[in-house]
Amino acid sequence: MTVSRRKDTGQWVCDFYHNGERIRKTLKFVRTKKEAEAAEAVIMNQVFQQVYGFEGKPDKRFEDFVVETFLPYSEANKRSFNRDVSICRVLVKAFKNKTLRQITSPLIESFKQEFAAKPIVFENKEKSKRTEKRRTPAGVNYYLRVLSKILSMAVDAEILENNPCRRVRKFKVDNQRTRVLSMDEEQKLMENLDPNQLVKEIVIVALYTGMRRGEIFNLSWDDVDFSRGVILVEQSKSGKKRVVPMNRTVRDLLKNMVRRGDLVFPSPRTGRRLDTIRKGFADATSKAGIRDFRFHDLRHTAATRMADSGADAFTLMKVLGHSNIQMTARYTHATDKAIRRALDNLDTKEHFGHETVTETKTANDNSP
């Protein structure tokens, strides 16, 4: 035991190391060395309980728990396993040499702020060009969700008593993007996609079905039913299958395509599932002069155009594969056409029963 009395304040302090970590505490209300030693014994016992748990269950290194418990769970249960692997690399580095019980809410808050301030760096293959991009609040929150899941599993394993990540506030996110491709922008985009036929075909399917990028990448020819005129989405974000009708544009495109394997859009390099078309899409939007437009905005565009054409929220929910009507309601926002249509309806008085009321009132006025 190591207790000492400070010369400047006269207070007793305990100072010891545990697993390479220095623990130093001021012992308030302690007056004698004997009381200081007794207080230190209590503190050391608390540290022992924190490490080994109240039932003697040992603590575990964060990295070991991630590798031995979380990643096998993710591989067996989550479609986002590959993304979880890359996220865990960042988390393991951030909490290097920390045990699960050493990860506290303030420590997680520090990670959140530092990670949000660190930009994403992109380099070309030759590493001659380097660009930086600011992290989005939604992106940082995704890392926190993975960390929270890891710590929740540690609670289930009775290593932790509670999940410290739940006391850390996530960043406020505004996902209500209203970026929609205009018809003029669509024409320019298609012209600049002519040299990259694969990306152009994928963009057309996204724009005329509202399908997600991953759903398009996973699409096989067995999922395309020309006799019924539908596409079966086997792997969706919600985990549920759905049927997407093909319009003439999509049907003609798929019918005239040269099949390059089981997948509709295989990778030209490997023949297997595509990983990304980010560069080809970004180059085309840049050359077309289209700013602030992501691939997912093609889905927003399709949904908004369907809503403008009169599709109700329930129909859109089925087409887009949303799990609830609230997610779809964002696409049925009041557009200029919808606002004008609503105001024009005021000219048609029978919509509001005005003529019926007037006629009844006239009849009553003429009654004897």
Residues 72 and 47 in one domain: no
Residues 124 and 67 in one domain: yes
Task: Give the residue-averaged pLDDT of 88-95.
Answer: 96
> What are φ and ψ of residue 322, in 5° steps?
-75, 150
Q: Is residue 246 part of a domain?
A: yes
Give the model's pLDDT for residue 58. 82
Say if residue 357's pLDDT is above 60.
Answer: no
Q: Is residue 101 part of a domain?
A: yes
Instruction: Give yes or no for a contact between 133 and 119, defined as CB atoms under 8 angstroms apart.
Output: yes
Number of domains comprising the chain? 3
Residues 189 and 317 in one domain: yes
Say if residue 96's pLDDT is above 80.
Answer: yes
Angle, helix 137-156 to helix 81-94, in steps of 10 degrees: 80
Q: Is residue 187 part of a domain?
A: yes
Q: Is residue 277 part of a domain?
A: yes
Task: Give the residue-averaged pLDDT of 236-262.
Answer: 88
Alpha helices in the chain (DSSP H): 33-52, 62-65, 71-77, 81-94, 105-117, 137-156, 183-193, 197-209, 213-217, 248-255, 278-287, 297-308, 313-320, 325-329, 336-344, 354-366
Say if residue 238's pLDDT is above 80.
Answer: no
Residues 280 and 243 in one domain: yes
Give the model's pLDDT for residue 355. 47
Residues 247 and 297 in one domain: yes
State the CATH number of the domain containing residue 188. 1.10.443.10
**Which pLDDT band, with edges at 50, 70 and 90, does 358 fall under?**
very low
Residues 199 and 151 in one domain: no
Residues 48 and 72 in one domain: no
pLDDT tens, residue by residue, 182-229: 999 999 999 999 999 999 999 999 999 999 999 999 999 999 999 999
Inter-CA distances, 236 with 45, 195, 326, 354, Å: 51, 30, 18, 48
Q: Is residue 177 part of a domain?
A: no
Q: Which two tokens stand for residue 198?
A: 């694969």
Residues 132 and 102 in one domain: yes
Q: Which two tokens stand for residue 242?
A: 């759905």
Residue ranges making up the domain that contains 194 = 183-333
Q: Is residue 359 part of a domain?
A: no
Name the percent of the chain lying above pLDDT 90: 49
**Which pLDDT band, with edges at 50, 70 and 90, does 341 fall under?**
low
Q: Is residue 319 part of a domain?
A: yes
Q: Is residue 124 part of a domain?
A: yes
Give the model's pLDDT for residue 342. 67
Say if residue 356's pLDDT is above 50.
Answer: no
Residues 205 and 326 in one domain: yes
